[in-house]
Amino acid sequence: MLFSTISGKSRRAAPLLLIAALAACSKDEPAAEAPAPVAGQPAAAPAAEPPPAVSAQVQAMSADELRQLATNALRENRIYAPGGDNAMEYYLALRDKAPTDPGVTSALTDLMPYTLIAAEQSIAREEFDEAQRLSALIEKTDPAAPALPRLKQSIATAQQAVAQRAVASEALAEQQARQQEQQRLAQQAEQQRAAEAQAAQQLAAQQEAAARAESERQAAAQREAQQRAEREAAARNTATAATTAAAPSAATLRAVSTPAPRYPPEALRSGTSGEVLVEITVGTDGSVTAARVVRANPARVFDREALNAVRRWKFEPVDAPVTTRRTIGFNPG
């Protein structure tokens, strides 16, 4: 008989007897009360409709088929899993068809402690769908099982704990984001203060240098006036000669390629515009052999990119090197 085979296997399984004893002890334990909701934490979500304990496919099988499949499942240690192909479901479906069969009832009684332990392990692993499936098996086996309320409460409590952890994790992430933003703003303010302090130091140094130069000029007024007059006269002569010599030659320059300069990323982000006056010397082969910044507004923002650009310029070949000046504008628009 099937019942005799099952009972014999159960008697030979010492671990099953131990588990059954533990399950019997747990019958006296009162069901755990639902934890009171904590302020600021989400309430437990309403319990979802539990899945059917026995699949429709298993319910549709004949009694003989269920007996054979249950025997095979026990032999292969498929006591409660996988869903739809385990001994518990086969015996539950068989009990529906043969409710007075004592062998089926005994088998379900022997197998239920395994299912209870598996359900508790699923809760510990936070596999709540599996825990609810196993809970449904236990409830269908014995709706009045003493461990059933505690098991359901454990599932609900564990689900609530997972939800609370998710809320806490989100709150922690938001707090960290706020702290990072505050640190960024503090660093930005510190950089601005440092820039202002540096600008003030530069201004003070310039004023000190101007005052020192003025003092020196006052101490040697006559000598400085004579030297200045000589320098101005020499500069005027040099400028006149350079203008006379360069103007016709510069007019003969014909550009072949004048690629635009690259816009500095920081100036582009801040929307800074300006212009740079550069002086270039064009060699006889039409390439730029020398370049320097004469004037820049604002200073040291576009100088490098302006020089990089003009050094790539190409002109038609000339008879002699030509020096000229060009203004390069930068406009973010």
Stretch(es) of the chain classified as CATH 3.30.2420.10: 250-330
d(CA 154, CA 132): 11
Contact (CB, 8 A) for 80 and 134: yes
pLDDT beyond 80 at 27 = no
| Assessment of whether the complete model's pTM goes beyond 0.85 | no
> What's domain 250-330's architecture?
2-Layer Sandwich (3.30)
Measured CA distances, 175 to 5, 41, 167, 181 (Å): 62, 16, 12, 10
Q: What is the pLDDT of residues 303-326, one digit of tens each?
A: 999 999 999 999 999 999 999 999
Q: What is the pLDDT of residues 40-96, one digit of tens each?
A: 555 544 555 666 899 999 999 999 999 999 999 999 999 999 999 999 999 999 999
Helix residue spans in 278-332 (DSSP H): 303-310
Q: What is the pLDDT of residues 155-169, one digit of tens each?
A: 999 999 999 999 999
Q: What is the pLDDT of residues 217-275, one digit of tens each?
A: 998 888 888 888 788 766 665 554 444 444 445 778 999 999 999 999 999 999 999 99
Residues pairing with 327 in the sheet? 277
Minimal CA–CA distance to 71: which of 105, 115, 104, 118?
104
d(CA 329, CA 217): 38
